Amino acid sequence: MNFLRDRGILDGNRYGVQAVHRKLPDGVNIQVPGCAPGMFLTAMPSLPDFEGVIPGARQFTFDCKVCSDNSLSMSEYFSTESSKGKRVRQMRHLVRRANMGCCSGLLIHFNERVLKTRVCPAVTYFWQVGSGVLWNSVVEKQTNSVSRFDCELHAVKVFWTKGDGESIYRPDFASFVFDFFQTKDMEGH
């Protein structure tokens, strides 16, 4: 992301894992490394992985997922009567941003899968949350996962690229963010 920031293409950042200090229960007398005496760290639900802006004050935010199966379960992102998904806060944040016109969704990378009769290559998609056929299907609990095929139909394929002087390929998320807003402009939004 620094490469893009240095060239004035976008400004953004990663969210780290969030944690809070809590007091140890009475009678517990241990020293937790990195914590003040009598305290310990508790991880708390975090916000999506990336958030930033491009010129024109247009915001993007997305959470990154890697999936080695054929589909990504959505149960972590939604609460049910029996459990609260551990990523509910992230999805709520993504949807609120999407409702305001933000490029907001999940960046899903499906790892290569070697099956008996074929190979499914590695592929990455950006799926905009908050509206659309697939989103409605997930929210209405008609489906509880997002598959490779769903993404082929309802998401944007993200290509991988290397920046100038870089040796590592990375998802070219700047391209799909710009494409998202260009499409919105053409539609008059």
Q: What is the pLDDT of residues 129-167, one digit of tens each?
A: 998 999 999 988 888 999 999 999 999 999 998 877 788
Give the number of domains in the chain.
Answer: 1
pLDDT exceeds 90 at position 26: no
Give the residue numbers spanning the domain of 95: 2-16+46-187
Q: What is the pLDDT of residue 76?
A: 84
Q: What is the pLDDT of residue 4?
A: 67
- Where residue 95 falls among pLDDT bands split at 50, 70, 90? very high
Is 126 within a domain? yes
Contact 125, 151 (CB under 8 A): yes
Is 26 within a domain? no
Q: What is the pLDDT of residue 183?
A: 84
Is 36 within a domain? no
- Phi first, then psi: give them for residue 150, nearest 5 degrees: -55, -45
* Partners of 21 in beta bridges: 41
Estimate the share of the chain in helix, then strand, then coil, as percent rounded to the nearest 5.
25, 35, 40
Query: What tokens were used for 59?
Result: 């915001």
Contact 71, 145 (CB under 8 A): yes
Is 174 within a domain? yes
What's the whole-model pTM score? Answer: 0.76
Is 63 within a domain? yes
Q: What is the pLDDT of residue 157?
A: 94
Is 167 within a domain? yes
Q: Which residue has the higher pLDDT, 144 or 27?
A: 144
Is 25 within a domain? no
* Partners of 20 in beta bridges: 42
CATH label of the domain that carries residue 149: 3.40.1350.10
Is 163 within a domain? yes
**How confident is the prediction for the chain on average, in pLDDT?**
83
